[in-house]
Structure 1
Amino acid sequence: MKTTLVYIGAAIAEIAGCFAFWGWLRLGKPVWWLIPGLLSLVVFAYALTLVEANAAGRAYAAYGGVYIAASLLWLWAIESVRPDRWDITGAAICLIGAGVILVGPRG
């Protein structure tokens, strides 16, 4: 449960931080948008250190699936673009893959 919450928090922080840069460069938002964006990216990086995994690469790989699903939720909630069936199918496949990476039996 803790890992799931950490991944969700990390995804929100990463997407918000990256969106701050997107807003500045692509949407014409003021440069000060970068300040909370950078802070958000620091929170993201720190959050991933809290994941209960025995290797950083494995924690990051599993996070990828969560990031994809969270990005589609951001697309819908913040950008008002509804994900289509292919978005949802792809995200489901990625989340299954993330689960296999995290809880698969290790010898």
Structure 2
Amino acid sequence: MTILKSVLLFTLAAVAEIGGAWLIWQAVREDKAWWWAGLGIVALGLYGFVAAFQPDAHFGRVLAAYGGVFIVGSLAWGMLLDGFRPDRWDLIGATVCLVGVAVIMFAPRQG
């Protein structure tokens, strides 16, 4: 159950952070209304709270592992919303990142 909770929280954090950054990008770079940026700021704030609910108590470990989730989530976001098509190197890199996330977060530890 802890792994499932962690994966769910990482997914929610990625949607909040990547979505927030994307909303700000749309306001600044794509001339969307100013309130898109406001929604982006709210989403980025939500990201901070979601990340804080991870079962692991170590901030550095959670944020390091989340870095890998962010990479994979960013590629997926680009595919879904911006028409980005990853090449095999993007996919290989994303796989390496997810393996790193699993090692950091779920490797058996003493104590």
Interval of TM-score (by shorter of Structure 1 and Structure 2): over 0.9
For the aligned residues, what is the CA RMSD?
Answer: 1.0
Q: 2:51 matched to 1:27?
A: no
Could you say what secondary structure the match of 2:82 adopts? coil
Give the count of matched residue pairs.
107
Query: Secondary structure at the residue paired with 2:97?
Result: helix
* Corresponding letter in the other structure for 1:56: F
Unaligned runs of 5+ in 2: none
Q: Which residue of 2 aligns with 1:104?
A: 107
Aligned to 1:90: 93
Determine which of 54, 60, 69 is the counterpart of 1:57.
Answer: 60
CA distance in 1, matches of 2:30, 2:90: 24
* Identity between Structure 1 and Structure 2 (%): 39
What is the alpha-carbon distance in structure 2 between the residues aligned to residue 2 and residue 98 of structure 1?
14
Deviation at 1:104, TM superposition (A): 2.1
Displacement of 1:54: 2.3
Letter in 1 for 2:101: A
TM-score when normalising by structure 1: 0.94
**Which residue in the other structure is 2:7 paired with?**
4
Output the amino acid matched with 2:98. L
